[in-house]
Chain A
Amino acid sequence: MTREIEASADIPVVQIATIVPIMLTVGANRIVPGIAIPHPVGAPDKGDEVDKAIRREVLERALKAIQTEIKEQTIFNK
Protein backbone atom coordinates (compact mmCIF):
# COMPACT_ATOMS: atom_id res chain seq x y z
CA MET A 1 0.00 0.00 0.00
CA THR A 2 2.83 2.39 0.95
CA ARG A 3 4.66 1.78 -2.30
CA GLU A 4 1.58 2.11 -4.50
CA ILE A 5 0.51 5.39 -2.84
CA GLU A 6 4.01 6.77 -3.42
CA ALA A 7 4.00 5.55 -7.02
CA SER A 8 0.54 6.81 -7.99
CA ALA A 9 0.60 10.14 -6.12
CA ASP A 10 4.33 10.77 -6.66
CA ILE A 11 4.67 12.13 -3.12
CA PRO A 12 6.84 10.86 -0.25
CA VAL A 13 5.17 8.29 2.00
CA VAL A 14 6.81 7.45 5.32
CA GLN A 15 5.75 4.19 6.90
CA ILE A 16 5.78 3.74 10.67
CA ALA A 17 5.60 0.11 11.77
CA THR A 18 7.43 -2.18 14.13
CA ILE A 19 8.64 -5.01 11.92
CA VAL A 20 11.25 -3.26 9.78
CA PRO A 21 12.11 -6.29 7.57
CA ILE A 22 8.51 -6.41 6.32
CA MET A 23 8.62 -2.75 5.34
CA LEU A 24 11.88 -3.37 3.50
CA THR A 25 10.37 -6.38 1.72
CA VAL A 26 7.20 -4.65 0.56
CA GLY A 27 9.19 -1.73 -0.82
CA ALA A 28 8.59 1.16 1.60
CA ASN A 29 11.22 3.81 0.88
CA ARG A 30 11.07 5.94 4.03
CA ILE A 31 10.87 3.81 7.14
CA VAL A 32 10.44 4.86 10.78
CA PRO A 33 10.53 1.94 13.25
CA GLY A 34 7.44 1.91 15.47
CA ILE A 35 7.28 1.33 19.22
CA ALA A 36 5.27 -1.92 19.35
CA ILE A 37 2.91 -3.86 17.09
CA PRO A 38 -0.33 -2.93 18.95
CA HIS A 39 0.77 0.71 19.40
CA PRO A 40 3.26 1.75 16.71
CA VAL A 41 2.98 5.46 17.61
CA GLY A 42 2.85 5.53 21.36
CA ALA A 43 3.67 3.84 24.66
CA PRO A 44 0.34 3.80 26.49
CA ASP A 45 1.74 1.35 29.01
CA LYS A 46 4.00 4.12 30.30
CA GLY A 47 1.27 6.62 31.16
CA ASP A 48 -0.31 9.49 29.28
CA GLU A 49 2.55 11.94 29.39
CA VAL A 50 5.27 9.58 28.22
CA ASP A 51 2.88 8.12 25.63
CA LYS A 52 2.31 11.53 24.05
CA ALA A 53 5.98 12.51 24.21
CA ILE A 54 6.96 9.31 22.44
CA ARG A 55 4.24 9.75 19.83
CA ARG A 56 5.50 13.26 19.17
CA GLU A 57 9.10 12.11 18.82
CA VAL A 58 8.16 9.35 16.35
CA LEU A 59 6.03 11.75 14.28
CA GLU A 60 8.74 14.40 14.25
CA ARG A 61 11.09 11.77 12.91
CA ALA A 62 8.50 10.89 10.25
CA LEU A 63 8.26 14.56 9.27
CA LYS A 64 12.03 14.69 9.01
CA ALA A 65 11.94 11.59 6.79
CA ILE A 66 9.56 13.14 4.27
CA GLN A 67 11.87 16.17 4.02
CA THR A 68 14.98 14.08 3.44
CA GLU A 69 16.32 13.38 -0.05
CA ILE A 70 17.03 9.65 -0.36
CA LYS A 71 18.32 7.44 -3.15
CA GLU A 72 17.26 4.09 -1.72
CA GLN A 73 15.19 2.54 1.06
CA THR A 74 16.18 4.32 4.27
CA ILE A 75 15.48 3.59 7.92
CA PHE A 76 15.18 6.67 10.11
CA ASN A 77 16.31 5.59 13.57
CA LYS A 78 16.22 7.74 16.66
Chain B
Amino acid sequence: MSSPIIQCKQLNHVYSGNLALNNVNFELAAGEPIGLVGPNGAGKTTLLGILSGFLQPTSGTVSLFDHPPGAKQLIGKVSALPQDARLDPSFTITEQLVFYGRLQGLTNPQAILEASRVLEAVSLTEISHEKPGTLSHGMAKRVAIAQALIGKPALILLDEPTAGLDPINVRTVRTIIAEQSSATTFIISSHDLAELDRLCQRILLLEKGILQSEILGQNEQQAATRFITLQMENAPAGEVITKFKTITGVLQVTNPQKNEFIVEYNPALQAQMDLQLIQCINMSHWQYRQLSHGKSLEEKLFFSD
Protein backbone atom coordinates (compact mmCIF):
# COMPACT_ATOMS: atom_id res chain seq x y z
CA MET B 1 0.00 0.00 0.00
CA SER B 2 1.32 3.49 -0.86
CA SER B 3 2.09 5.88 2.01
CA PRO B 4 -0.93 7.80 3.29
CA ILE B 5 -1.54 11.28 1.98
CA ILE B 6 -3.79 12.14 4.94
CA GLN B 7 -3.33 11.03 8.52
CA CYS B 8 -5.71 12.00 11.32
CA LYS B 9 -4.98 10.83 14.83
CA GLN B 10 -7.33 11.32 17.78
CA LEU B 11 -8.78 14.36 16.15
CA ASN B 12 -11.22 16.38 18.25
CA HIS B 13 -12.87 19.69 17.54
CA VAL B 14 -15.12 21.59 19.90
CA TYR B 15 -17.38 24.20 18.33
CA SER B 16 -19.61 26.40 20.52
CA GLY B 17 -19.37 23.87 23.35
CA ASN B 18 -20.35 20.93 21.11
CA LEU B 19 -18.02 18.16 20.05
CA ALA B 20 -18.04 18.55 16.27
CA LEU B 21 -15.38 15.86 15.82
CA ASN B 22 -14.87 13.13 18.38
CA ASN B 23 -11.65 11.13 18.33
CA VAL B 24 -11.48 10.74 14.57
CA ASN B 25 -8.72 8.46 13.33
CA PHE B 26 -8.07 7.52 9.73
CA GLU B 27 -5.46 7.28 7.04
CA LEU B 28 -6.07 7.76 3.34
CA ALA B 29 -3.84 6.80 0.47
CA ALA B 30 -3.76 8.44 -2.96
CA GLY B 31 -5.99 6.97 -5.60
CA GLU B 32 -9.66 6.85 -6.54
CA PRO B 33 -12.04 9.54 -5.21
CA ILE B 34 -13.01 9.12 -1.56
CA GLY B 35 -16.49 9.99 -0.34
CA LEU B 36 -17.28 11.64 2.97
CA VAL B 37 -20.90 11.22 4.02
CA GLY B 38 -23.01 11.85 7.06
CA PRO B 39 -26.13 13.69 8.15
CA ASN B 40 -26.23 17.47 8.56
CA GLY B 41 -24.08 18.55 11.50
CA ALA B 42 -22.10 15.30 11.45
CA GLY B 43 -18.79 17.19 11.18
CA LYS B 44 -17.99 16.78 7.47
CA THR B 45 -17.37 20.48 6.80
CA THR B 46 -15.43 20.77 10.08
CA LEU B 47 -13.19 17.87 9.05
CA LEU B 48 -12.59 19.35 5.60
CA GLY B 49 -12.04 22.79 7.19
CA ILE B 50 -9.32 21.33 9.44
CA LEU B 51 -7.71 19.49 6.53
CA SER B 52 -7.71 22.72 4.51
CA GLY B 53 -6.20 24.75 7.37
CA PHE B 54 -9.27 26.96 7.83
CA LEU B 55 -9.88 25.64 11.35
CA GLN B 56 -7.53 24.57 14.11
CA PRO B 57 -8.38 21.23 15.75
CA THR B 58 -9.00 21.40 19.49
CA SER B 59 -6.75 18.37 19.95
CA GLY B 60 -5.20 15.57 17.93
CA THR B 61 -2.88 15.63 14.97
CA VAL B 62 -3.47 15.99 11.24
CA SER B 63 -0.98 15.74 8.46
CA LEU B 64 -1.23 15.95 4.69
CA PHE B 65 1.77 14.64 2.77
CA ASP B 66 3.55 14.64 6.16
CA HIS B 67 2.94 18.36 6.72
CA PRO B 68 0.42 20.12 8.94
CA PRO B 69 -2.55 21.73 7.13
CA GLY B 70 -1.73 25.19 5.81
CA ALA B 71 2.04 24.49 5.59
CA LYS B 72 3.82 26.28 2.76
CA GLN B 73 4.96 22.88 1.41
CA LEU B 74 1.30 22.15 0.62
CA ILE B 75 0.83 25.22 -1.61
CA GLY B 76 -0.05 23.92 -5.05
CA LYS B 77 -0.21 20.35 -3.75
CA VAL B 78 -3.46 20.52 -1.78
CA SER B 79 -6.49 22.51 -2.85
CA ALA B 80 -10.13 22.70 -1.91
CA LEU B 81 -13.61 23.77 -2.83
CA PRO B 82 -14.78 25.34 0.43
CA GLN B 83 -18.51 25.15 1.08
CA ASP B 84 -20.39 28.36 0.17
CA ALA B 85 -17.19 30.34 -0.49
CA ARG B 86 -17.56 32.99 -3.16
CA LEU B 87 -15.05 34.93 -5.21
CA ASP B 88 -14.48 38.66 -4.75
CA PRO B 89 -17.22 40.52 -6.65
CA SER B 90 -14.90 43.44 -7.49
CA PHE B 91 -12.59 41.51 -9.83
CA THR B 92 -13.12 39.44 -12.95
CA ILE B 93 -12.85 35.65 -12.81
CA THR B 94 -9.55 35.66 -14.73
CA GLU B 95 -8.02 38.38 -12.54
CA GLN B 96 -8.71 36.29 -9.45
CA LEU B 97 -7.59 32.97 -10.93
CA VAL B 98 -4.38 34.61 -12.15
CA PHE B 99 -3.83 36.06 -8.68
CA TYR B 100 -4.28 32.61 -7.12
CA GLY B 101 -1.88 31.13 -9.66
CA ARG B 102 0.70 33.80 -8.83
CA LEU B 103 0.33 33.03 -5.12
CA GLN B 104 1.08 29.39 -5.97
CA GLY B 105 4.40 30.50 -7.46
CA LEU B 106 3.51 30.74 -11.15
CA THR B 107 4.86 33.59 -13.25
CA ASN B 108 2.31 35.99 -14.73
CA PRO B 109 2.25 34.37 -18.21
CA GLN B 110 2.06 30.90 -16.62
CA ALA B 111 -0.78 32.02 -14.34
CA ILE B 112 -2.73 33.43 -17.31
CA LEU B 113 -2.35 30.15 -19.19
CA GLU B 114 -3.32 28.16 -16.10
CA ALA B 115 -6.42 30.30 -15.52
CA SER B 116 -7.44 29.65 -19.09
CA ARG B 117 -6.78 25.88 -18.73
CA VAL B 118 -8.86 25.46 -15.58
CA LEU B 119 -11.74 27.49 -17.01
CA GLU B 120 -11.65 25.27 -20.05
CA ALA B 121 -11.69 22.20 -17.79
CA VAL B 122 -15.00 23.39 -16.31
CA SER B 123 -16.30 24.54 -19.73
CA LEU B 124 -16.47 28.19 -18.75
CA THR B 125 -13.99 29.97 -20.99
CA GLU B 126 -16.69 32.36 -22.21
CA ILE B 127 -17.13 33.97 -18.77
CA SER B 128 -13.43 34.54 -18.07
CA HIS B 129 -13.81 38.33 -18.16
CA GLU B 130 -17.09 38.43 -16.24
CA LYS B 131 -17.35 39.36 -12.59
CA PRO B 132 -18.65 36.74 -10.12
CA GLY B 133 -21.90 38.65 -9.56
CA THR B 134 -23.07 37.89 -13.09
CA LEU B 135 -22.75 34.09 -12.73
CA SER B 136 -25.52 31.62 -11.98
CA HIS B 137 -25.18 29.32 -8.95
CA GLY B 138 -24.03 26.44 -11.14
CA MET B 139 -21.45 28.57 -12.95
CA ALA B 140 -20.15 30.01 -9.66
CA LYS B 141 -19.71 26.47 -8.31
CA ARG B 142 -17.83 25.42 -11.43
CA VAL B 143 -15.58 28.48 -11.20
CA ALA B 144 -14.90 27.58 -7.55
CA ILE B 145 -13.98 24.08 -8.73
CA ALA B 146 -11.76 25.67 -11.40
CA GLN B 147 -9.76 27.54 -8.74
CA ALA B 148 -9.21 24.23 -6.96
CA LEU B 149 -7.67 22.78 -10.13
CA ILE B 150 -5.00 25.51 -10.47
CA GLY B 151 -1.52 23.98 -10.59
CA LYS B 152 -2.83 20.41 -10.87
CA PRO B 153 -2.79 19.66 -7.12
CA ALA B 154 -2.30 16.09 -5.91
CA LEU B 155 -5.20 16.32 -3.46
CA ILE B 156 -8.46 18.26 -3.79
CA LEU B 157 -11.04 18.48 -1.01
CA LEU B 158 -14.53 19.16 -2.36
CA ASP B 159 -17.18 20.20 0.13
CA GLU B 160 -20.65 19.64 -1.36
CA PRO B 161 -19.57 20.15 -4.99
CA THR B 162 -23.02 19.37 -6.38
CA ALA B 163 -25.24 20.95 -3.71
CA GLY B 164 -27.96 23.09 -5.26
CA LEU B 165 -26.96 22.28 -8.84
CA ASP B 166 -29.31 21.22 -11.61
CA PRO B 167 -28.82 17.75 -13.18
CA ILE B 168 -26.83 19.12 -16.12
CA ASN B 169 -24.37 20.91 -13.85
CA VAL B 170 -24.18 17.85 -11.58
CA ARG B 171 -23.20 15.80 -14.60
CA THR B 172 -20.60 18.41 -15.60
CA VAL B 173 -19.07 18.35 -12.11
CA ARG B 174 -19.04 14.54 -12.15
CA THR B 175 -17.26 14.57 -15.50
CA ILE B 176 -14.68 17.08 -14.23
CA ILE B 177 -13.91 14.85 -11.22
CA ALA B 178 -13.74 11.72 -13.36
CA GLU B 179 -11.41 13.39 -15.88
CA GLN B 180 -9.04 14.79 -13.26
CA SER B 181 -9.03 11.79 -10.91
CA SER B 182 -6.22 10.00 -12.73
CA ALA B 183 -3.73 12.60 -11.50
CA THR B 184 -5.54 13.93 -8.44
CA THR B 185 -7.06 12.32 -5.37
CA PHE B 186 -10.45 13.83 -4.58
CA ILE B 187 -12.18 13.77 -1.22
CA ILE B 188 -15.81 14.58 -1.79
CA SER B 189 -18.25 15.49 0.93
CA SER B 190 -21.83 15.09 -0.25
CA HIS B 191 -25.37 14.12 0.68
CA ASP B 192 -25.90 12.73 -2.79
CA LEU B 193 -25.22 9.05 -2.15
CA ALA B 194 -26.02 8.01 -5.70
CA GLU B 195 -23.40 10.48 -6.90
CA LEU B 196 -20.78 9.19 -4.47
CA ASP B 197 -21.70 5.61 -5.37
CA ARG B 198 -20.83 6.41 -8.97
CA LEU B 199 -17.56 8.21 -8.21
CA CYS B 200 -16.02 6.71 -5.10
CA GLN B 201 -14.47 3.39 -4.25
CA ARG B 202 -14.04 4.32 -0.64
CA ILE B 203 -16.48 6.05 1.69
CA LEU B 204 -16.02 7.56 5.15
CA LEU B 205 -19.18 7.86 7.25
CA LEU B 206 -19.28 10.51 9.96
CA GLU B 207 -22.09 10.65 12.48
CA LYS B 208 -22.22 13.13 15.37
CA GLY B 209 -18.53 13.80 14.92
CA ILE B 210 -17.60 10.12 15.15
CA LEU B 211 -16.15 8.20 12.24
CA GLN B 212 -18.59 5.31 12.03
CA SER B 213 -17.29 3.21 9.24
CA GLU B 214 -15.10 3.03 6.19
CA ILE B 215 -16.72 1.26 3.26
CA LEU B 216 -14.42 -0.22 0.71
CA GLY B 217 -16.00 -0.99 -2.64
CA GLN B 218 -13.43 -3.53 -3.69
CA ASN B 219 -14.02 -5.69 -0.61
CA GLU B 220 -17.40 -6.69 -2.01
CA GLN B 221 -15.75 -8.55 -4.85
CA GLN B 222 -13.94 -10.84 -2.41
CA ALA B 223 -16.94 -11.45 -0.14
CA ALA B 224 -18.45 -14.94 0.32
CA THR B 225 -21.92 -13.63 -0.47
CA ARG B 226 -22.83 -10.97 -2.99
CA PHE B 227 -25.79 -8.72 -3.60
CA ILE B 228 -27.87 -7.64 -6.57
CA THR B 229 -30.19 -4.67 -6.32
CA LEU B 230 -33.24 -4.71 -8.57
CA GLN B 231 -35.60 -1.86 -9.34
CA MET B 232 -38.88 -3.37 -10.56
CA GLU B 233 -41.92 -1.80 -12.17
CA ASN B 234 -45.09 -2.48 -10.17
CA ALA B 235 -44.23 -6.06 -9.41
CA PRO B 236 -46.11 -7.97 -6.65
CA ALA B 237 -43.59 -7.96 -3.81
CA GLY B 238 -44.65 -11.20 -2.16
CA GLU B 239 -44.62 -13.14 -5.42
CA VAL B 240 -41.24 -11.66 -6.47
CA ILE B 241 -39.63 -12.67 -3.18
CA THR B 242 -41.10 -16.20 -3.35
CA LYS B 243 -40.00 -16.78 -6.95
CA PHE B 244 -36.50 -15.32 -6.47
CA LYS B 245 -35.98 -17.55 -3.43
CA THR B 246 -36.51 -20.63 -5.59
CA ILE B 247 -33.44 -19.79 -7.71
CA THR B 248 -30.41 -21.87 -6.78
CA GLY B 249 -27.84 -19.87 -4.82
CA VAL B 250 -30.23 -17.20 -3.52
CA LEU B 251 -29.76 -16.84 0.22
CA GLN B 252 -32.11 -14.00 1.03
CA VAL B 253 -34.42 -11.54 -0.73
CA THR B 254 -35.45 -8.29 0.93
CA ASN B 255 -37.79 -5.53 -0.15
CA PRO B 256 -36.46 -2.37 1.59
CA GLN B 257 -38.52 0.05 -0.49
CA LYS B 258 -41.46 -0.15 -2.87
CA ASN B 259 -40.36 -1.98 -6.06
CA GLU B 260 -36.79 -2.35 -4.81
CA PHE B 261 -35.42 -5.82 -4.07
CA ILE B 262 -32.03 -6.83 -2.74
CA VAL B 263 -30.99 -10.36 -3.55
CA GLU B 264 -28.22 -11.90 -1.46
CA TYR B 265 -26.63 -14.90 -3.12
CA ASN B 266 -23.74 -17.29 -3.01
CA PRO B 267 -21.53 -16.75 -6.09
CA ALA B 268 -20.00 -20.19 -5.63
CA LEU B 269 -23.40 -21.78 -6.25
CA GLN B 270 -24.61 -19.39 -8.94
CA ALA B 271 -22.01 -17.24 -10.67
CA GLN B 272 -24.45 -15.74 -13.19
CA MET B 273 -27.18 -14.72 -10.80
CA ASP B 274 -28.01 -11.62 -12.87
CA LEU B 275 -28.97 -13.76 -15.87
CA GLN B 276 -31.04 -16.08 -13.68
CA LEU B 277 -32.96 -13.15 -12.20
CA ILE B 278 -33.67 -11.62 -15.62
CA GLN B 279 -34.86 -14.99 -16.88
CA CYS B 280 -37.19 -15.31 -13.89
CA ILE B 281 -38.53 -11.76 -14.46
CA ASN B 282 -39.09 -12.54 -18.14
CA MET B 283 -40.92 -15.78 -17.45
CA SER B 284 -43.14 -14.07 -14.89
CA HIS B 285 -43.96 -11.23 -17.35
CA TRP B 286 -42.72 -8.55 -14.97
CA GLN B 287 -40.78 -5.44 -15.98
CA TYR B 288 -37.61 -4.15 -14.36
CA ARG B 289 -36.02 -0.72 -14.52
CA GLN B 290 -32.55 -1.35 -13.28
CA LEU B 291 -30.35 -4.19 -12.15
CA SER B 292 -27.11 -3.41 -10.39
CA HIS B 293 -24.50 -5.49 -8.70
CA GLY B 294 -24.00 -4.85 -5.00
CA LYS B 295 -26.06 -2.83 -2.60
CA SER B 296 -26.69 0.87 -3.06
CA LEU B 297 -24.47 3.11 -0.93
CA GLU B 298 -27.52 4.13 1.09
CA GLU B 299 -28.16 0.48 1.97
CA LYS B 300 -24.53 -0.16 2.78
CA LEU B 301 -24.21 2.87 5.03
CA PHE B 302 -27.49 3.12 6.81
CA PHE B 303 -29.38 -0.18 6.55
CA SER B 304 -26.76 -2.92 6.66
CA ASP B 305 -26.65 -5.25 9.66
- Do A and B come together as binding partners? no
